[in-house]
Amino acid sequence: MELNFVPSVFVPECMSNYMKTIAWDVDDVLNDLMMMWLKQKWIEEHKDCRLRYEGLIENPTHRLLGVGINEYLSSLDGYRLSALYQQMTPVKEIMEWFARCGNNFRHIALTAVPLVAASASAQWVFTHFGAWIRTFHFVPSKRAGQNIPDYDNDKSAFLKWLAKADVFIDDSPVNIKDAESAGIRSILWPRPWNDSKLTPVEALTSMEDFLNDGETA
């Protein structure tokens, strides 16, 4: 599999005293899943839908779409398993940050995704970020009829078990709150469904300040 990335370069100002570890959420942090799913699948299949990405003030979004949670999840999972998911490009600001500073830290991917789509998510991560992200972890999202071992209730439980992450980045206010309650420094990635006031560049700068200086992110 050919990796699609821009090689990292040495930039002294990005250096930290030692290799700290960043835990990255995948969907809607490293990529624009909800934006692309809404545009390429839901609206294409529901021509009368007037909801636009900026209006996704809730996640999950089934109530805003006027459908049940199972119909919503089925559509989202279908997108994850399609070629369109693999064709998504990474978030521009994050890819640029990795190319500039990624080699100064260790990175892990931590996502909540149904078991059926975990391999697709991992493929996307390693295709675009495999030069830096060397491990992929997921907390299985619950789906009807799924019967698998239950190791962790959420991402914060996994991070506590792993005990390696210096900072955690996620788009979910609930995940951020839980991680911070567990003593894990966290940054809320700006999306319409959360109250982050930061731009993507400001969020990355906040993360970098903490990693380099030990300040609160």
Would you say 114 and 122 are in contact if contact means Cβ atoms under 8 Å apart? Answer: no
Percentages helix, strand, coil for the chain (3-state, rounded to 5) are 50, 10, 40
For residue 23, list its beta bridge partners. 108, 168
Q: Does 190 lie in the same domain as 117?
A: yes
Per-residue pLDDT of 164-174, as tens digits, reads 999 999 999 99
Segments forming the whole domain that contains residue 95: 12-31+90-213
Residue given tokens 């890819």 in the structure block: 95
Coil, strand, or helix at residue 43? helix
pLDDT at 214: 54
Mean pLDDT of the 50-59 span: 97
Q: 32 CB contacts (<8 Å, ≥6 apart)?
A: 88, 91
> What is the pTM assigned to this prediction?
0.89
Residue 2 lies in a domain: no
* CATH code (residue 128): 3.40.50.1000
